[in-house]
Amino acid sequence: MSDERPGVLDGAVPPQDNTRLFGHREAEAFLAQSYRSGKGHHAMLIEGPEGIGKATLAFRFANHVLSHPDPACAPETIGDPDPASVVRRQISGGASHNLLHLSRPVDDKTGKVKSAITVDEVRRAGKFFSQTSGTGNWRIVIIDPADDLNRSAANAILKILEEPPKRALFLVLSHAPGRLLPTIRSRCLPLKLAPLGDDALRMALENLGIPAAGQGSEVLSAAKGSVSEALKLLNYGGGEIIEAYRQVLSADGPAARKAMHRLADALSGKDSDTIFGFFLSHIGDDIIERARAAALHGSISTAERLARLHSETTERLNVSQAYNLDRKQTLITILGELKQQLSA
C-alpha cells in the first residue's frame, strides 16, 4: 500500500496510522512502567537507526498517555491503539489538541519536503503550549527526527526543554544522537532501540502486505534491521543500485565509465531523491566498513585514508546539495574518486 502523505515511502504506513509495532517490547515496557510510576522524565530521546520503529513507538506511547491521563490508572503495558477510539482518530488525523508532531515541513512553492525543521516549526510548539496551558491535559510534542533541526530550531527547542511546561512530554527522535546539540541530549533521558532482528523485520513487512516469499535473506541482510531500508530495496530498486555500484568498482576502462554514467543517470532522474539518499547512505556505510576492516587487520594508514575519503565525500555532497549543483556530474566525480581510492 502507498500513502499520499509527503515523505512517506511507497508501501509504508505513516507512524501515526500504524497500529502495530515489532521488536521493541522492552522499550515499550519501560515507557509504560515509567509513566505509570508517575516519575517519568519529561523528555525522552528515542534513538536508533532510521526505519526501525522509533516514530511508531512515539505515537503509540502518545496514544497511551492521552488515553490514560492519570498515570496511576494507566495499564501496565502499552496495547495496540484502538482504531475506533476518539484519541486514536484525532492522532491519526492530526487533529489532536494535545499532540504536536514536528517534522520537516512541505515547501508551498515546490510541494516537496524541506531539507530541515525550521525555527518557524518550533515556534508552533510555543503556540501549542500557550493555547493548551489551561486545559490540565498532557501536552505531547514529537520531534521527528531531531537530527533535522537546523541550528536556530535546535536552540529554540533547547529553551523549551530547559523550562518545560507542566504536564508536558517531549519525545525526541534521533537516527544519530551524536549529531545533536550536547545540551539537548543532556536534557533528555535516552532510550536506545536496536535494529530489528530478522523475525521482527519479516513480521513488520508482512504487516505491510509484503509476503515472506519476497523477503529473501539478501534483502534482510542488506536492510540491516530497518523496515524503510527494506522498502527501498524492494520498492525503489535499491538492490539494483547496490549491484550497479559494485559493477562500477569492479569494472575497468570504458566499461567502468559506462557503468558510472548509467548509475549516475539512475540516481539523477525525476523523483529520484529517495533512492539517491539510499545510495549515499550505502556508500557511506561501505567506506566505513572498509576502514574498520583495514584497522582490524592492522592497516592503520589505509583506515585513516578511508576515513578521510568518507569525510571528503560527505563534504562534497553537502556542498553540491547546498548550491544545487548538477547531481549527475557530482556523482560521476565522486564515483571516480571512490573507485580510485578503494582500488588503491
Q: Which pLDDT score is estimated for 286?
A: 94
Collapse the DSSP code of 171 into the 3-class scheme (helix H, G, I; strand E, B; otherwise coil) and give the result: strand
Q: Which pLDDT score is estimated for 323?
A: 84
Q: The whole model's pTM is what?
A: 0.91
Rounded mean pLDDT, 89-110: 93
Using the predicted structure, report yes or no on whether residue 163 has a pLDDT greater than 80. yes
Q: pLDDT category, 4, cuts 50, 70, 90? A: low
Report the chain's mean pLDDT, rounded to a whole number.
93
Using the predicted structure, report yes or no on whether residue 118 has a pLDDT greater than 80. yes
Using the predicted structure, report yes or no on whether residue 219 has a pLDDT greater than 90. no
Q: Which pLDDT score is estimated for 214?
A: 66
d(CA 121, CA 62): 20
Using the predicted structure, report yes or no on whether residue 173 has a pLDDT greater than 90. yes
Using the predicted structure, report yes or no on whether residue 241 has a pLDDT greater than 60. yes
Rounded mean pLDDT, 143-171: 96
d(CA 60, CA 80): 7
Rounded mean pLDDT, 203-222: 85
Rounded mean pLDDT, 273-292: 94
Using the predicted structure, report yes or no on whether residue 120 has a pLDDT greater than 70. yes
CATH superfamily of 25-194: P-loop containing nucleotide triphosphate hydrolases (3.40.50.300)
Using the predicted structure, report yes or no on whether residue 182 has a pLDDT greater than 50. yes
Q: Which pLDDT score is estimated for 144?
A: 95
Listed in order, strand segments (DSSP E) in 98-218 are: 99-102, 139-143, 168-174, 189-192
Q: Indicate if the alpha-carbon torsion angle 244, 249, 250, 256 is positive or negative.
A: positive
More confident residue, 2 or 84: 84
- Angle of the 238-250 helix axis to the 327-343 helix axis, nearest 10: 50
> Which H or E run includes 110?
none
Rounded mean pLDDT, 290-299: 96
Q: pLDDT category, 3, cuts 50, 70, 90? A: very low
> Which H or E run includes 113?
none
Amino acid identity, position 30: F
Rounded mean pLDDT, 172-187: 96
d(CA 54, CA 200): 14
